[in-house]
Structure formats: C-alpha cells, structure tokens
Chains A and B, each alone.
Chain A
Amino acid sequence: MKESIQAYLESHFSNFLLPGRDINTNLPYFCIKPEGIVPVAKALKEHHEFQFQYLNDLTAVDWLGKLEPRFEIVYLLRSPKNKHFRIQLRTPVEEGESVPSLVEVFVGANWPEREVFDLFGIPFANHPRMERILMPDNFIGHPLRKDYPLEGPGQDYLIENLLTIHTNEDISQ
C-alpha cells in the first residue's frame, strides 16, 4: 500500500513531494510542501483505489532547536476501503508562514485547524474563521510552543482581565 501511494505521488505530485526524514514510526508518512497539501489530500481522497475519505487527526509538532523549519503540521488520513489503512502527511512550516486550510476538502478540519492556530500560532489560509478556540481571546502567546514556559507564575494580568469580561445584556445592540 505504501509503495503504491509513493509511486502515485511521485508520478503526479513530484513537485510537492519533499524527501522523507528517518522517523521511527508505526505509520507510513509522506512529506508534502505546504502549497501542495490541499491538492494531495484531495487527490488521495478521490483516488478510486486509495479513497482516503476520512480525516482522522490533525495536529502540529514544534521542533524548536531540533529541526528546520520549526513546525510540522501532521495530518492523519484513513482509508476505510483498504482495511482502515492510516497514512500521515507531514507539512513543514516556518515561523510566521501560513498553511492552506483543508476545510474545503474535509469539513471536519475546521476546529482542529483553529486548535493548532490557538495553541501553536500557525495560521491557516482560507479558513472560514481563523480565531482562538480553546484559550481566552485575551490570552497572550501560544501555549504549546516549546518556548512558552512550562512553569512559572503564569499570566497574572489575565485574572484581572477576566474580571472585566464583556457583560452586555444583549450583544446584538
């Protein structure tokens, strides 16, 4: 299965394919350039043999100090037709760059992409609503970045801000 997907991607999307790293993992993975993620995911979804219809997971890894570029978006696709075979698409992103949103291919990518934006600060282009989802709106920084401190006093100013949250009776006016 992995070989046939590799051959397919090499023949059709060789301009988007990046050389693979040596990772000890249980999933076959393919490194894709950010601009190629939407066409590749779409092609794998609509391919008559592979049929990766299900976006299983979407997250990011911060490789600060270990790898360049710093971030990697990790997509997990599942093919129900082929005994629920899972593959990983990995997209390297540099700090400050954005990645095309996958919402047009998989609607379910909406919230996970917002979560990645919220916790890593990686924006997704063409996303219907690229805003924080889990952290408060007035939160400063992105907690899952490796340079966000693991311990310390925390954001004291936040508690004061929390006391002055919006309390309009009717926000429509």
Chain B
Amino acid sequence: MVMYEKTAEYFGQKYKDLPEGHLLVNLGPSHPATHGILQNVIQIDGERVVEAESVIGYVHRCFEKLGERYDYNQFLVCTDRMNYVSTPLNNIGWILTVEKMMQIDVPARVTYVRMIISELSRLMDHIICNGVMGVDLGAFSGFLHLFHHRENIYQILEKLTGARLTTTFCRVGGMERDIYPDFQKEIKIITKGIKPALDEFEELLIRNKIFNERTAGIGGISAEDAIAYGFSGPNLRAAGVPWDVRKDTPYMLYDKVDFDVPVGEDGSALHRTLVRMEEMRQCIRIIEQLIDGIPEGPYHADLPHSFLPPKDKVYNNMEELIYHFKIIMHGIKVPPGEYYHATEAANGELGFYVVSEGEKTPWRVHVRRPCFWYYQAFPQMVKGGLLADTIATMSSLNVIAGELDC
C-alpha cells in the first residue's frame, strides 16, 4: 500500500488488531472506480464493509493561495480546474461574485446566455455522473448513448469559448465575445435530440432490473444526517430535502423561469440517479424558456476600467490602448470588503468567499465546494454494505477529485 508515513502510521494503529478473517482493501488512489485521484481504505469481513476511511489531497493545488497571487480575471482559470466536468458553472459562480462585489449590472443578453450555458453544463455533468454510474456497474451502452449528446454540447462550448474542457467562460462585466450566429439554432437541435435520448437512457439503464437491484437502498443517508454533514445539491435532494440555491436565494434570472426541484426519498444511490435524471429534464425546460428570448444588445457592460477592449481597437486607438494597459498591469478595482456568493453548481452549493483590501489581487479567496462537504459522509454511507456497493455509492455521489481537493 502506497501511503505517506504518518497516514500509514495512523492506519497501522487503527487496524493493528484486525480480527481473524478481516481484510484491508485499498481502493485508489488510482482505481478505475474512483474517477479521479482519491483513496479509500476499507476493512472488510468477507463481502461486508466493517470500516472505511477516505484519504484525499492527491490533486490539491491550493487554488486559494493562487487566488491571492492572481488578479480577479486570472483566477477564472483556476475555477476551470475545480469541477472539470462542468467548468462553465464554476466560471459563472466566480464572475458573479466579483460582479456583485463591484456592483456591476450586466446586460440582459449576457445573463440569458450565462443561464443557458449553466443549464447545458449541468446537463453535461449529470450525463457523466449517470452514464459512468452505469459503466461502474457493468452497463456500457447507456453511457455511450448519452455521450454522443454531451459531445454536441462540447462543440457548442468550443465554438463559444474556443476550448472544450477549460472553457474560461465569461469575464467580469460580460462575456469574452458575443455568441455566434447559429447559437440558438444549434442549441434547439441539441435539446430536441436529447429529450428522446433521455427517455431511452432511462428505459435502457434505470428501468433495468439488475441496475435497480444493485442501487435501490444502497448507500442511503437520512435527511437529518445529510443536513448535518453539509450535503447540498442533488445528493441532498435525493434524501428528501427540497433545497436548491436557484430557488432559495435566486441569482441571475432563476426567479423568473419555471422549473421544479425533484426530490427523492431515502437518499440511496438509485434516488440520486433518479433526481439527476429529472434534473436533466428540468435543465432542458429552463433552456427552452430562455433560448428564444435572448435579447439583442451588447455582450458586456459599459466598463472601460474593467472590461478589456476589443483587439482591433487596441491596435488602432490611443484610448483603448491605455485602458488595455491599465487593466493588464493594475488589474480591476474591487472595493474593500467581503462577499459570500453561492450558486447552484452541478454537485450543490458552490460558494465563493472573497475578502478584498482594494488591491489588484484579493486578500483571501475561499471556495465552498460541495464535494468536500458531502464526501466526508462516505464512510458512514458504505458501512455495513457490500464491497461492490461502495462502488455504486461513490459513483452516484459524483465525487470530482478536482473539486474535492481544489
């Protein structure tokens, strides 16, 4: 077992007197079922899990320290690498925080596009989670079936931002560039195609008897425990708690659109999958309400002091050249103060806590990432179950190592 000395000593002490017949199994840090670099040390008696413990930190890059080095637009690049399955959601969460601190109102066009991209990213994230969940349990076709549609969303992001994975979507005050002409048309094609695909996926995987029996009642958590552990997002809603940041403390235009918050019952792996399944349909519902109403207008607020001017003007006009230089060299001016802003990311409440001293860089950046809070309940959720069920539990929790370690 590969481990740091002190951690190994801890586990050595803890499992010093392993009862006869008990076995210590090491899942990870590089295990196909963990989808990222994280480790679980599991004590089993036959097939039963007696004790489990997680070791994390393998992907820790200390973005909070980097946040004290980078200026407000540069830190956007770090948010790309947090939840790398749905990057635009992190980007938008960060940009909204900075805009709220600077009290910037962005044009309606920007908010519409941000919301559409948010929901597309949520769709993308849930496709991965539910698809990979099937793969971990031995069903490959559902994953491939939906992945085709995820690829279409990626192509939209590629056209919109120039990148597939690390999108760096949005800038403080607006977007980097305007949407391309066929944006609405292509998204309509996607939403039209994905609806029947979701139904087929549900028939193929979720109504499958084997899948049902592998996941029903597995890795459950009660509503009280989920709240106590700081759960949020689909995992909390699967336990029967109807909290959603989009409904509770609305941001952007989420109080203006109609959507339901799906709720599960026992917080088991099956209910988490079902909640994500229904959330995907609600994503499409939100997109359909917005896609035709994207207003005309500028793609950024009128902020010469904080929004980089277009390159052709920088090369030809004196004033824009000065602003470009000022923004690059001195950064944007955020007033001294503190701000906590929460958005509903794919895994739950993604909060940014920023302390500004009025300088180029923040004094302190803290990211409240949903994975980090709910993953600490993992040992409790798998205790008493079968070893094979820990895989189902971990997949259905959607633990993203980049977000967990930050």
Contacts and interface: CB of A to CB of B under 8 A. Distances in A.
B405 interface: yes
A131 B5 contact: no
B116 to A, nearest CB: 25
A132 B62 CA distance: 14
Which of A76, A135, A166 has the most chain B CB atoms inside 10 A of its CB? A166
Contacts of A135: 57, 60
Contacts of A23: 337-338
Contact of B62 (A62, A74, A136, A143): A143
Nearest to A27: B340
B318 interface: no
B15 A84 contact: no
Interface string B187-231: 000000000000000000000000000000000000001011110
A24 B249 contact: no
B84 interface: no
A84 B363 CA distance: 27
A165 B2 contact: yes
A25 B337 contact: yes
A9 interface: no
B312 interface: no
A98 interface: no
A82 to B, nearest CB: 11
A138 B1 contact: no
B65 A144 contact: yes
Contacts of A111: 372-373, 375-376
A136 B228 contact: no
B368 A57 contact: yes
Interface residues of B, number: 55
Interface stretch (B137-145, B265-273, B321-329, B348-356): B348-356
B256 interface: no
Contacts of A172: 12, 15-16, 18, 24
B355 A150 contact: no
A165 B340 contact: no
B164 interface: no
Interface in B330-350: 335-342, 349
B182 interface: no
Interface string A146-160: 001011000000000
**Interface residue SS majority, chain A:** loop
A84 to B, nearest CB: 4
B56 A133 contact: yes
B243 A56 contact: no
Contacts of B377: 108
A107 B4 CA distance: 26
Contacts of B337: 23-25
A108 B68 contact: no
Contact of A136 (B1, B57, B249, B353): B57
B253 interface: no
Given A143-B65, A172-B15, A138 B351 contact: no
Contacts, number: 136
Interface size class of A (residues with CB under 8 A): 35 or more
Given A80-B243, A131-B6, A119 B372 contact: no
A57 to B, nearest CB: 4
Given A54-B227, A62-B364, A167 B372 contact: no
Given A84-B243, A168-B1, A112 B228 contact: no
Nearest to A66: B357
Nearest to B228: A107
Given A27-B340, A107-B229, A137 B62 contact: no
Contacts of A84: 243, 248-249
Contacts of B18: 172
B316 interface: no
Nearest to B230: A108
Contacts of A171: 1, 3, 8, 11-12, 15, 24
B57 A54 contact: no
Nearest to B375: A111
Nearest to B100: A26
26 contacts: A25-B337, A25-B339, A56-B342, A56-B368, A57-B368, A59-B368, A76-B351, A76-B353, A80-B243, A86-B340, A88-B340, A107-B229, A108-B228, A111-B373, A112-B372, A119-B62, A134-B56, A143-B65, A165-B4, A165-B5, A166-B2, A166-B4, A168-B8, A170-B1, A171-B8, A171-B24
Interface of A: 23-27, 53-57, 59, 61-62, 66, 74, 76, 80, 83-84, 86, 88, 106-108, 110-112, 115, 119, 129, 131-138, 143-144, 148, 150-151, 165-172
Interface of B: 1-8, 10-12, 15-16, 18, 24, 56-57, 60, 62, 64-65, 68-69, 100, 225, 227-230, 243, 248-249, 335-342, 349, 351, 353, 355, 357, 363-364, 366, 368, 372-373, 375-377, 405
Given A134-B57, A144-B62, 13 more contacts: A24-B335, A24-B336, A26-B100, A54-B227, A54-B230, A56-B230, A108-B228, A108-B376, A111-B373, A131-B6, A143-B65, A165-B2, A170-B24
- 8 tightest A-B CB contacts, nearest first: A24-B337, A137-B6, A108-B230, A134-B57, A166-B8, A84-B248, A137-B4, A25-B338
